[in-house]
Structure 1
């Protein structure tokens, strides 16, 4: 019954996120072929901060919830963020930017609300909140990454090796959905509030939207 409830909760969160989804101007403009190089540097530098923060957030969650199934899920996510950082360096290098340049970049405040919220939930939230938020938002994020990788190669002359960061995130990690549903079910069984979990999913989506809007600000 609890696993059934977790599946239903995930479906509800996905519906609410789909209803709130609007056009992604940054990705649309990227696909048009007219994205200024400066904005690609913004993308790399903002992601460098986001992935670095998310890696620590998932490591904290693995420490807070070390028992299965939560510990395995969050440890795997932290390791995945580590892989992504390496791939992001390849994209930055193709742009002519070093890791030091990425670290010295001045971030856009609204581009960083997503990792700030994830860090807050990592410190104070439940495992089921984070698992549901990640599960419900992963499909949209993956679709954007797939579109970005394709556009960078076909419209801007990047090699496939340069866009590995985006192709890495274009597909869900093997077994992720089952793991996440197990974490959600376990949390619900122990008394986690399902409304708070859905709220976390909605907020994470809103903050991801703010990220894309910040990258596209001022572009026409």
Structure 2
């Protein structure tokens, strides 16, 4: 992060929100089970089934955000890039799903668990009704935690479940922030705050998103 901007209101709000969420988000019992190899294969199958719906929903949500806020940079590039990334992730998901016994037909007929789908519903709502600052802060705060979970799962799958690196690539893909994401999202957050958007509402969107992230993991356990 550019040290020149380290004290601006957008960065301060981002840091405060991450600090608030970290005590509960840092511990993920399901990821810990996968990391030790103790999670049953059915947990991995449920992750694949839920993510099949989530990734397709998120791709549409990011496309909607690009249409809604994409009249100028950095929002246009940010949301179009995220939509493209979800499309890439969908292809990688098929490799993971197949490796744990979920072929295309099984993914299509999988019955999602409502709590596991609360995250994409929240993102879809934000795409239609959320402010720029709420969307940007929710993504900034959540992506770091989600990426950490994915890094641990990506490392555990070859070690404990016999998957190849290619079959675990869905999680490796999300383990790192997209190039330029943090800077672009901070710019969108800053523009929203400068335009008078409510920082309390932005924080609330981030808190809810991380709660729905936790609900996903609890639901697949």
Task: Please state which band the TM-score falls in when normalised by the shorter chain.
Answer: over 0.9
Are residues 1:101 and 2:106 paired?
A: yes
2:37 aligns to what? 33
Are residues 1:127 and 2:132 paired?
A: yes
**8 A Cα contact 1:61 1:127, kept in partner:** no
Q: For each residue in 1:124-156, what CA deviation from the matched residue of structure 2 results, as whole angstroms up to 9, or x when unmatched? A: 111221111111111111111011011111011
Q: Supply the RMSD in Å over aligned alpha carbons.
A: 1.5
**8 A Cα contact 1:145 1:166, kept in partner:** yes
- 2:73 aligns to what SS in structure 1? coil
2:206 aligns to what? 201
Q: How far has the Cα of 1:162 moved from its partner?
A: 0.3
Runs of 4 or more off by more than 2 Å in structure 1? Answer: 19-23
Report the Cα distance in structure 2 between the residues aligned to 1:100 and 1:179, rounded to whole angstroms: 38
- 1:160 aligns to what SS in structure 2? coil
Q: How far has the Cα of 1:69 moved from its partner?
A: 1.6
- 2:39 aligns to what SS in structure 1? coil
2:115 aligns to what? 110
Report the Cα distance in structure 2 between the residues aligned to 1:75 and 1:13, rounded to whole angstroms: 25
- 1:161 aligns to what SS in structure 2? coil
Report the Cα distance in structure 1 between the residues aligned to 2:16 and 2:28, rounded to whole angstroms: 22
Report the Cα distance in structure 1 between the residues aligned to 2:130 and 2:17, rounded to whole angstroms: 17
1:51 aligns to what? 55
Report the Cα distance in structure 2 between the residues aligned to 1:139 and 1:161, rounded to whole angstroms: 23
Structure 1 residues 82-91 or 28-37, which shifts more? 28-37
**8 A Cα contact 1:110 1:211, kept in partner:** yes
- 1:173 aligns to what SS in structure 2? coil
1:158 aligns to what? 163
Relative to the length of structure 1, the TM-score reads 0.94
- 2:106 aligns to what SS in structure 1? helix
**8 A Cα contact 2:25 2:145, kept in partner:** no
Q: How far has the Cα of 1:109 moved from its partner?
A: 0.8
- 1:174 aligns to what SS in structure 2? coil
Q: For each residue in 1:14-60, what CA deviation from the matched residue of structure 2 results, as whole angstroms up to 9, or x when unmatched? A: 11111333631211111222322222110101011111111111100
- 1:112 aligns to what SS in structure 2? helix
Q: How many residues align?
A: 216
